[in-house]
């Protein structure tokens, strides 16, 4: 059959691609690229409003395993930031080729990389909105590298079958090199021994002094236009560091040293890596900081992680990035906006600040959102309503402690038929802690009393007694709530701090019986929420009636009203021989309760 000579290309000239298939491939490429670009923009918007500490509450930092998981998450965020933009480069190649068989870096690679770069810049502008001058250039590095890698992979894929076969081992090699790099950094960062310095000792007197100092300088008590200054010596800061770090593990310590306009920090954190010998993340760093109009400026002169000394050429561009991330952090932003000046001198740090305004949801950001779910609040409100109804039946006298517990856990048991018994028991503990313990527990749980009627019932429930003592009721339920909100360690530490403050001059004195009430409340919360089986066992036990001796041992014979001088002279202070002997007796009595065996 004859053909039209004009329809065939000259010899040696490649045939033009068919427009139909080429256009369809280009259309699909644009569709996938736009969809992925929208995904990256959505992710950037989420990151812009998220916290650098997101995913872990402050109380969770006391858990060494949770802390290790969070640190690993931060480390893995670096290769992930690279990996997010690899598909963008790959799809950009598909868009640029339009089905062509002539694949060259100049004709396809460069345009694809330019397209990927524009997308990267757009996404980074969204993510760093408001602080792009200090973070955009550094923030572009990993995404651009990811886009470059994706462009290279897209070019290799487009060249045909042989190139695709070689692509897999090349990608595997690149991933292995990245993994080896991260592994080398982690290996160099961890050491077998902590840094050789002694943490500042924490005494009851130091706790009382610092607690009083910070309470007197509360920024939330300031009015608009007012300022306040808080002066902390290096010793004060080191005691606060030792106090806070010791709650999580004895294998944590830190120390700060001050100089004119600069400070240095040394810290060692033991990490549970499963080996027989402990591993420590040791940090030694020095530098200076400034805060102006809520914007943080950092200048780090030296940073060493274990055996890894971070080069100055890496520190210099990273400082503004870290400072910008901290300035935009949801948790830190309100604190930075309240700060007006930070002065570092060899003898002390002086912080000048104005009123502190905490936005809605700040506590959830700080302590974690786990207990603030709508399901939890609904269950807590149901328990609160039932307790108020019980109190309304005896408006002139408070109901029995056991009746309150039976009422709440009857609600929890009924709701557990179709819900999680752990959550229902937690809600019951919160209801009891708010109504019988202290109303401020509601600030950490969420709004449960709003719209509830029965002001007299609320007042009556505040007078519920435990073995004839209303203060033991409060100790029991507030400690139980703290154990659920945070953990056992924080609950015990809070109870101890309360007694150390009471031991001060003018206080009610240190009370070992109060500590028993705290410990019994904490143990009750653990038994009620440890796992689903234990939650249901406790519900069934309470369905048969509340027996006080099953949950709260004798406490009246334990010493109380002890002033600080006697606590030190007779019991050796907190941690002394006499003190530890009584703590062991408290633990023995609580552990002997049938409900906790």
DSSP 504: S
Q: Count CB-CB contacts under 10 A for residue 577.
A: 8
- Give per-residue pLDDT as tens, 482-539: 888 876 666 666 676 676 666 666 667 888 999 999 999 999 999 999 899 999 999 9
Over the Cα atoms of the chain, what is R_g? 31
Strands of the 348-353 sheet, one edge to the other: 228-233, 348-353, 339-344
Predicted confidence at residue 565, as pLDDT, reads: 87
Q: Are residues 53 and 135 in the same domain?
A: yes
What are the b/e assignments for 354-388, b being 16+ CB within 10 Å?
A: bbbeeeeeebebbbbeebbeeebbebbbbbbbbbb
In a domain, 5, yes or no: no
* Percent share of the chain, pLDDT over 90: 28
Mean pLDDT of 545-563: 91
For residue 282, the SS3 value is strand
| Minimum mean pLDDT range among 172-181, 243-252, 323-332, 433-442 | 323-332
Which whole number is the average pLDDT over 6-20? Answer: 47
Same domain, 323 and 412: no
Dist. CA 511–CA 523, nearest whole Å: 19
Q: Classify residue 6: in a domain, yes or no.
A: no
Tens of pLDDT, residues 238-274: 998 888 887 767 788 999 999 999 999 999 988 877 6
Residue 271 backbone dihedrals phi, psi, to 5 degrees: -115, 135
- Is residue 364 situated within a structural domain? no
Q: Are residues 346 and 469 in the same domain?
A: no
Are residue 531 and residue 393 in the same domain, yes or no? yes
- pLDDT recorded at residue 74: 73
| Cα distance between residue 258 and residue 266, in whole Å | 12
Predicted pLDDT at 128: 66
Q: pLDDT band for position 317 (50/70/90)?
A: confident
Task: Tell whether the model's pLDDT for residue 589 goes beyond 90.
Answer: yes
Q: How far apart are CA 164 and CA 112, in angstroms?
A: 19
The yes-or-no verdict on residue 7 having pLDDT over 60 is: no
Is 446 a member of any domain? yes
Looking at the structure, tell me whether residues 331 and 412 fall in a common domain: no
Q: What phi-psi label fits residue 298: left (phi over 0), alpha (psi between -120 and 50 degrees) or beta?
A: beta
- Of 191-195, 341-345, 357-361, give the lowest mean pLDDT range: 357-361
Which pLDDT score, from 0 to 100, does residue 138 have?
57
Give the lowest-confidence range in 37-51, 488-502, 541-555: 488-502
User: What is the arithmetic mean of pLDDT over 30-55?
Assistant: 74
> Does 306 share its domain with 401?
no
Sorting pLDDT into bands at 50, 70 and 90, what band is 284? very high
Residue 3 has pLDDT above 50, yes or no: no
Residues 408 and 304 in one domain: no
Say how far apart CA 252 and CA 249 lie, in whole Å: 6
* 370: confidence class by pLDDT, cuts 50, 70, 90: very low
Q: Are residues 183 and 120 in the same domain?
A: yes
**Statement: residue 134 has pLDDT above 70:** no
User: How many domains, in total, are found in the chain?
Assistant: 3
Residue 170 belongs to a domain: yes
Query: Average per-residue pLDDT in the chain?
Result: 82
Whole-Å CA distances, 414 to 180, 207, 349, 428? 54, 44, 55, 12
**Where is the domain boundary, 156, 189, 222?**
189
Span 414-440, mean pLDDT? 91
Residue 285 confidence (pLDDT) above 50: yes
pTM, rounded to two decimals: 0.73
Q: Check whether residue 30 and residue 121 sit in a common domain.
A: yes
Q: Structure tokens of 459?
A: 């007042």
- Residue 221 DSSP symbol: G
Is residue 363 included in any domain, yes or no? no
Instruction: Report pLDDT for 259.
Output: 94
Q: What is the domain range of residue 527?
A: 369-596
Q: Are residues 474 and 535 in the same domain?
A: yes
Domain boundary among 130, 154, 189: 189
Residue that terminates a domain, selected from 160, 189, 218: 189
User: What pLDDT, on a 0 to 100 scale, did the predictor assign at position 588?
Assistant: 95
Structure-token pair, residue 426: 């937690």
Residue 1: the pLDDT is 41
Q: Rounded to the nearest 5°, which phi and psi values hold at 343?
A: -115, 125
Strand partners, 252: 269
Collapsing DSSP states into helix, strand and coil, what is residue 228? strand
Tokens of 82: 């690279």
Residue carrying structure tokens 């906006």: 337
Interior CA angle at 259 toward 257 and 263, to 5°?
A: 50
Residue 510 is assigned to a structural domain of this protein:
yes
439 and 490 assigned to the same domain:
yes
Q: If you average pLDDT over each of 53-62, 94-103, 387-396, 454-463, which comes out highest? A: 387-396
Contact 545, 477 (CB under 8 A): no
Q: Is residue 13 part of a domain?
A: no
Residues 126 and 231 in one domain: no
Model confidence over 405-421: pLDDT tens digits?
A: 999 999 999 999 888 99
């Amino acid at each position: 059959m004859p053909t039209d000579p004009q329809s065939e290309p000259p010899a040696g000239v490649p045939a033009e691609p068919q427009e139909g298939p080429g256009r369809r491939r280009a259309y699909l490429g644009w569709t996938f690229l736009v969809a992925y670009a929208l995904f990256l923009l959505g992710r950037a918007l989420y990151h812009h409003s998220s916290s650098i500490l997101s995913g872990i509450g402050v109380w969770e930092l006391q858990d060494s395993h949770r802390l290790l998981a969070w640190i690993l998450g931060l480390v893995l965020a670096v290769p992930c930031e690279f990996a997010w933009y690899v598909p963008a480069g790959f799809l950009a190649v598909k868009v640029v080729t339009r089905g062509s068989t002539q694949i060259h870096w100049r004709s396809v690679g460069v345009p694809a990389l330019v397209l990927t770069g524009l997308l990267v810049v757009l996404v980074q502008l969204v993510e760093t909105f408001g602080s792009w001058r200090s973070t955009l250039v550094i923030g572009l590095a990993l995404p651009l590298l990811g886009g470059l890698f994706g462009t290279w992979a897209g070019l290799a894929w487009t060249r045909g079958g042989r190139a695709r076969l070689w692509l897999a081992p090349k990608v595997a090699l690149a991933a292995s090199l990245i993994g080896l790099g991260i592994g080398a950094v982690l290996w160099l960062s961890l050491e077998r021994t902590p840094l050789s310095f002694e943490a500042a000792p924490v005494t009851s007197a130091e706790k009382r002094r610092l607690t009083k100092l910070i309470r007197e300088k509360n920024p939330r008590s300031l009015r608009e236009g007012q300022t306040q200054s808080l002066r902390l010596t290096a010793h004060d800061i080191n005691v606060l560091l030792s106090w806070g770090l010791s709650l999580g593990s004895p294998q944590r310590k830190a120390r700060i040293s001050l100089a004119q306009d600069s400070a240095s920090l040394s810290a060692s954190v033991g990490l549970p890596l499963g080996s027989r010998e402990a591993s420590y993340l040791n940090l030694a760093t020095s530098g200076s900081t400034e805060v102006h109009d809520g914007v943080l400026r950092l200048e780090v002169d030296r940073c060493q992680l274990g055996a890894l000394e971070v080069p100055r050429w890496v520190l210099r561009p990273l400082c503004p990035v870290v400072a910008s991330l901290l300035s935009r952090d949801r948790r830190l932003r309100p604190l930075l906006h309240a700060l007006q000046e930070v002065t570092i001198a060899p003898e002390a740090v002086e912080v000048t600040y104005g009123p502190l305004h905490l936005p809605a949801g700040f506590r959830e950001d700080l302590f974690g959102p786990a207990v603030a779910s709508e399901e939890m609040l609904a269950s807590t409100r149901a328990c609160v309503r039932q307790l108020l109804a019980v109190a309304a039946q005896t408006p002139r006298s408070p109901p029995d402690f056991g009746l309150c517990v039976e009422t709440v856990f009857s609600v929890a048991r009924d709701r557990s038929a179709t819900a999680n018994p752990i959550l229902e028991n937690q809600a019951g503990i919160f209801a009891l802690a708010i109504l019988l313990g202290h109303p401020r527990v509601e600030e950490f749980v969420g709004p449960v009393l709003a719209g509830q009627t029965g002001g007299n019932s609320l007042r009556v429930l505040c007078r519920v007694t435990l073995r004839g003592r209303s203060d033991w009721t409060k100790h029991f339920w507030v400690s139980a709530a703290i154990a659920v909100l945070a953990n056992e360690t924080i609950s015990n530490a809070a109870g101890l701090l309360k007694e150390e403050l009471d031991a001060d001059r003018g206080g009610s004195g240190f009370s070992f019986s109060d500590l028993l009430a705290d410990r019994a409340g904490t143990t009750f919360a653990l038994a009620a929420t440890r796992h689903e089986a234990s939650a249901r066992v406790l519900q069934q036990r309470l369905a048969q009636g509340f027996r006080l001796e099953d949950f709260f041992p004798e406490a009246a014979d334990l010493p109380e009203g002890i002033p600080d001088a006697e606590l030190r002279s007779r019991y050796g202070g907190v941690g002394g021989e006499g003190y530890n002997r009584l703590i062991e007796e408290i633990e023995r009595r609580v552990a002997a309760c049938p409900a906790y065996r």
